[in-house]
């Protein structure tokens, strides 16, 4: 969305008349940004125009994004930086929120797309395989139970039998087919 407030020309500090141009976004982040709490993330936004646009960040509801010491910084180049943080410092309103980049100058302003930011907090978990009882000759199904908070970030790469025999899935579903297991 572009809002023009003063189209035309403006006079520079030296009295020179310059053509003015509303802000145009040059780069903005993809619509979804996920990052680990161990690494943090830098989210970039830039624009050009005349006069040079100012970059600000807005929350999904349109309120301005403010720096939060040791959690979120606003940089002079228009980037927003989420610092690495411990699990105890997770804030849902910051680390799982919608943001928008805004570029503005005296001619107008332009809003970037909505960006969903999600911090993934690194934590320990255990994968469980439940006992399955099957009659000889019938099909047995073993399921790898992954905790819900980790499910989107974990992929089954193999099954291990007796701590020495790796069984690798044959395709994306991670299903394993093997006969005569006793």
Number of domains in the chain: 2
- Residue 66 forms part of a structural domain: yes
- Decide the pairing of beta strands 108-120 and 32-36: parallel
DSSP 3-state assignment of 94? helix
Domain identity same for 40 and 96: yes
Domain identity same for 84 and 103: yes
Domain identity same for 40 and 67: yes
Domain identity same for 155 and 95: no
pLDDT of residue 136: 84
Domain identity same for 40 and 70: yes
The mean per-residue pLDDT over the stretch 131-142 comes to 79
Taking the C-alpha atoms of residue 104 and residue 55, their distance in angstroms, rounded to an integer, is: 7
User: Residues 82, 87, 88, CA angle at the centre, nearest 5°?
Assistant: 105
pTM: 0.68
Domain hosting residue 160, numbered range: 128-181
How many residues are present in the chain?
182
pLDDT of residue 171: 63
CATH number at residue 35: 2.60.40.10
Which has more confidence, 91 or 136?
91
The tokens describing 88, both together, are: 């105890």
């Amino acid at each position: 969305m572009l809002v023009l407030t003063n189209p035309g020309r403006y006079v520079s500090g030296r009295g020179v008349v310059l053509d003015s141009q509303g802000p145009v976004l040059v780069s903005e982040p993809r619509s979804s940004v996920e990052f680990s709490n161990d690494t943090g993330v830098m989210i970039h936004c830039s624009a050009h125009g005349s006069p040079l646009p100012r970059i600000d960040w807005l929350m999904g509801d349109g309120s301005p994004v403010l720096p939060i010491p040791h959690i979120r910084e606003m940089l002079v180049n228009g980037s927003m930086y989420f610092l690495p943080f411990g699990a105890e410092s997770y804030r849902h309103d910051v680390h799982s929120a919608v943001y928008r980049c805004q570029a503005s100058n005296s001619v107008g302003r332009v809003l970037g797309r909505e960006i969903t930011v999600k911090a993934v907090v690194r934590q320990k978990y255990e994968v469980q395989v439940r006992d399955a009882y099957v009659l000889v000759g019938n099909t047995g199904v073993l399921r790898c139970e992954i905790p819900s908070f980790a499910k989107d970030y974990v992929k089954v790469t193999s099954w291990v039998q007796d701590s020495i025999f790796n069984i690798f899935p044959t395709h994306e579903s991670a299903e394993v087919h093997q006969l005569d297991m006793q």
